[in-house]
Amino acid sequence: MCDSELFRIEKTNYAGFGLYANRKIIRGQLIINEQPLIVYDRNKSNLTKQITDKVNKLSIEDKKLFYSLYDCYLPNSPTALGIGETNCLPLGQGSNFFGIFPTISRINHSCCPNVYHCWNNTKKVETIYALKDIEKDEEILTSYIDLYADKATRQKQLKQSFRFDCSCQLCSKSTTDSKKSDIRRKVLSQLDEEIATLAWSMPEKALIKAEQILKYLKDEDMFYLANYVGRVGYDVFQILFMNSKVNKNLGSNIQAWAQLTKDSYMTCSGNYDDCILKNQLEIYAQQH
């Protein structure tokens, strides 16, 4: 389902088509939930045949929608494989199955996105939620890559996978500001890895790392990215949940971390029933 009152598709001045807000969109608001035109398994051999066969089974209208999408590999002679690999999104984290979405595929990239795309496995739709308030006529932008990466890494990934040089607000910063940003993002990546390493052996240190991540997210103007904040909150909640019986001091802030996690996931995925925290949070509530 696409609420066409919320946005429009129009030509951009830099990257083909894009989505633009028709009116102000509020942080946490659902903008799109859309079923895939086709689904395919990227682990299987002969992707060309697999994608082509699925496209050929579409209705005339849906086939037209598919072939209207961009092929970054052969823009002047698009192929089913090129369109598929340019626009595919995983149907859940770590899934081998990928889908092509006629409207969501029009959303362009930014390293400072204002929306988050997420597969809802319960409803079998890809969802787009606003990560911040989006003003009327502002372009709706998502991220195609990991935003803890520095500028050079981001540019390389985008060039290799999507054949474009990113000139978003973040990538257009001055050399001095860009270097400062790169340092903060490198630290964020390191802290993220350290939490996973320390979580069970030294939980107190892992919690210190998590607090540092939240600070760096604020310093880097990334705290609005609910998917990243939610990930930190969920890591901490797991640590506290598993250690609160052993060390009561560790569990003293579990409710605050649980609320931060729930609020974050509600912002970027909208549905508490689908939130990965739900079962543990409810078990904790019953025990306390």
Q: Are 66 and 158 members of one domain? A: yes
**pLDDT at position 240:** 82
Mean pLDDT estimate for the chain: 90
Which pLDDT band, with edges at 50, 70 and 90, does 283 fall under?
low
Does the residue 218 lie in any domain? Answer: yes
Based on the fold, state whether residues 85 and 184 are members of the same structural domain. no
* pLDDT interval class at 142 (50, 70, 90): very high
Categorize the per-residue pLDDT at 272 as very low, low, confident or very high, splitting at 50, 70 and 90: low
Query: 110, 134, 162 — which closes off a domain?
Result: 162
Radius of gyration, alpha carbons of the chain: 20
Quick one: 111 and 188 in the same domain?
A: no
More confident residue, 38 or 238: 38
Domain that holds residue 229: 175-287
How much is the pTM? Answer: 0.91
Does some domain include residue 207? yes
Give the pLDDT confidence score for residue 169 in this predicted structure: 95
Q: Are residue 13 and residue 107 in the same domain, yes or no?
A: yes
Per-residue pLDDT tens over the stretch 59-106:
999 999 999 999 999 999 999 999 999 999 999 888 999 999 999 999
- 271 pLDDT exceeds 80? no
Indicate whether 206 and 85 sit together in one domain. Answer: no
Residue 2 placed within a domain: no
pLDDT above 90 (res 288): no
Query: Based on the domain organization, do 87 and 226 belong to the same domain?
Result: no
- Over the stretch 99-119, which tens digit does the pLDDT of each residue have? 999 999 999 999 999 999 999
Q: For residue 246, is pLDDT > 50? A: no
Give 247's pLDDT tier (boundaries 50, 70, 90). low
Task: State the average pLDDT over residues 234-248.
Answer: 73
User: Who has greater pLDDT, 284 or 47?
Assistant: 47
Number of domains in the chain: 2
Domain's final residue, options 134, 162, 190? 162
Least confident of 51-55, 81-85, 252-256: 252-256
Q: Are residue 132 and residue 51 in the same domain, yes or no? A: yes
Identify whether 167 is part of a domain.
no
User: Are 88 and 230 in a shared domain?
Assistant: no
**Does one domain contain both 253 and 194?**
yes
Q: Give the chain as a DSSP string.
A: -B-TTTEEEEE-SSSSEEEEESS-B-TT-EEEEE--SEEEETTSS-HHHHHHHHHHTS-HHHHHHHHTS--SSSTTS--HHHHHHHH-EESSTT-SEEEE-TTGGGPEE-SS-SEEEEEETTTTEEEEEESS-B-TTPEEEE-SS-TTS-HHHHHHHHHHHH-----STTTTS-HHHHHHHHHHHHHHHHHHHHHHHHTTT-HHHHHHHHHHHHHHHHHTT-TT-HHHHHHHHHHHHHHHHHHTTT-TTGGGGHHHHHHHHHHHHHHHH--GGG-TTHHHHHHHHHH-
Q: What is the pLDDT of residue 3?
A: 53
**What is the pLDDT, as a whole number, of residue 4?**
65
271, 214: one domain: yes
pLDDT of residue 261: 87
Residues 147 and 93 in one domain: yes
Q: Are residues 72 and 195 in the same domain?
A: no
Domain boundary among 138, 162, 186: 162
Read off the pLDDT band of 287 (50, 70, 90): low
pLDDT in tens, 20-50: 999 999 999 999 999 999 999 999 989 999 9
8-17, 100-109, 191-200 — most confident range:
100-109
- CATH (domain of 136): 2.170.270.10
